[in-house]
Amino acid sequence: MKTLYLIRHAKSDWANITLADIDRPLNTRGYTDAHTMSELAKSKKMVPDDIITSPAIRAITTALIFARNCNFNASRIRIEPLLYHSNTQNYLDIISETNSKTEVLFLFAHNPVISDCANSLLKTKMDEMPTCGIVGITSNCDDWETFVNADCKLILFDFPNNH
């Protein structure tokens, strides 16, 4: 059984308009939301075997907060450039190339592609994920290459405004 948690980065700060998009940090609400949602993940026993994140500062920071609150060694977070300014196929390729020993994968990235990826895996049309939203998807398969083409099931759709 494989379980994927697609997590959109928390709310970013637009105060410094001179920063490049990739360098935008989280704002105060973003930090609060990341802690809220990562504590929720911990309470639901969502423990990652691996974490992959976009190289954007807001995504890395969100991933680090989740790692700390879910007792995941932050030095093992994989930064994947293809998760930034990308497309659904790149996301699916990254997921399919994940080590088969990984049972639970957290992937931190951006809209609209992260929502499109969830819709592709679930073969459905759900609304766009809010910032720091989590979509949990599972399938009874042995490897991630099979997962991206499997009959996947939605097990969680949650976001900060629910809490």
Please write the tens of the pLDDT for every residue from 51-93. Answer: 999 999 999 999 999 999 999 999 999 999 999 999 999 999 9
Q: How many domains does the chain have?
A: 1
**Does residue 86 lie within any of the structural domains?**
yes
> Would you state the pLDDT for residue 124?
86
**Does residue 129 lie within any of the structural domains?**
no
Question: CA-to-CA distance for 41 and 67, rounded, in angstroms?
Answer: 10
**Does residue 21 lie within any of the structural domains?**
yes
* Confidence tier at 20 by pLDDT (50, 70, 90): very high
Tell me the β-bridge partners of 79. Answer: 53
The pLDDT > 70 percentage for the chain reads 100
**Does residue 106 lie within any of the structural domains?**
no
Question: CA-to-CA distance for 104 and 49, rounded, in angstroms?
Answer: 5
Tell me the β-bridge partners of 136. Answer: 5, 156
**Does residue 36 lie within any of the structural domains?**
yes
- Give me the domain span that covers residue 68: 8-47+62-98
User: pLDDT for 99-153, tens place per residue?
Assistant: 999 999 999 999 999 999 999 999 888 888 999 999 999 999 999 999 999 999 9
> Would you state the pLDDT for residue 125?
85
Judged against a pLDDT cut of 90, whether residue 21 lies above it is answered with yes
Mean of per-residue pLDDT scores for the chain: 96
**Does residue 34 lie within any of the structural domains?**
yes
**Does residue 2 lie within any of the structural domains?**
no
**Does residue 33 lie within any of the structural domains?**
yes
